[in-house]
């Protein structure tokens, strides 16, 4: 099982898309193990996007991410990182395929609705930045056996 960080960005929150986007992850069979609405402080946004510091879009990105509340999620499942990124679609809404979150809800190349960790290392680092001790829960879903084939050694 992997746990990944997903952020529903200010545009998703302001447009009232949180429930519809969150439902897609649950409908897919992924488990929500952490969830909170926050206003990202400047220093947290700068840390989160530190890899982009010095790039032309950095200041605008930090400003955008601190402009309104966001919904921060910890999502768990087998291959959760790759599955979530595929569900999100191409970075720019204008290029994203229909059926993806960005493809169905976005047209902007600046406002792209959602962030998702791109690797296990990034997920670990980002989870630590956005969630404190005890905020990501381990819990068993009653219907887990209907999401994954658990008859073998590994969930499938």
Which positions are annotated as active-site residues? 115
The Cα 55–Cα 74 span in angstroms is 28
The Cα 147–Cα 156 span in angstroms is 9
Each residue of 99-132: b (16+ CB within 10 Å) or e?
ebbbbbbbeeeebbbbbbbeeeeebeebbeebbe
Q: What residue ranges in the chain does DSSP mark as E strands? A: 2-8, 31-38, 70-77, 114-116
Q: Are 68 and 13 within 8 A, CB to CB?
A: yes
Place of tokens 């649950």: 26
């Amino acid at each position: 099982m992997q746990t990944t960080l997903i952020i529903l960005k200010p545009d998703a929150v302001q447009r009232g898309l949180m429930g519809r986007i969150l439902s897609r992850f649950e409908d897919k069979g992924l488990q929500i193990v952490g969830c909170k609405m926050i206003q990202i402080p400047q220093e947290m946004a700068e840390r989160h996007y530190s890899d982009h510091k010095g790039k032309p879009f950095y200041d605008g990105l930090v400003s955008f991410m601190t402009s309104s509340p966001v919904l921060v999620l910890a999502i768990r499942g087998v291959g959760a990182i790759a599955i979530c990124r595929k569900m999100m679609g191409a970075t720019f809404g204008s290029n994203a395929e229909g059926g993806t979150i960005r493809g169905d809800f976005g047209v902007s190349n600046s406002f792209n609705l959602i962030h998702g960790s791109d690797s296990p290392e990034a997920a670990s680092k980002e989870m630590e930045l956005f969630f404190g001790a005890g905020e990501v829960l381990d819990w068993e879903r009653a219907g887990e056996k209907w999401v994954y084939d658990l008859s073998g050694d590994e969930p499938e």
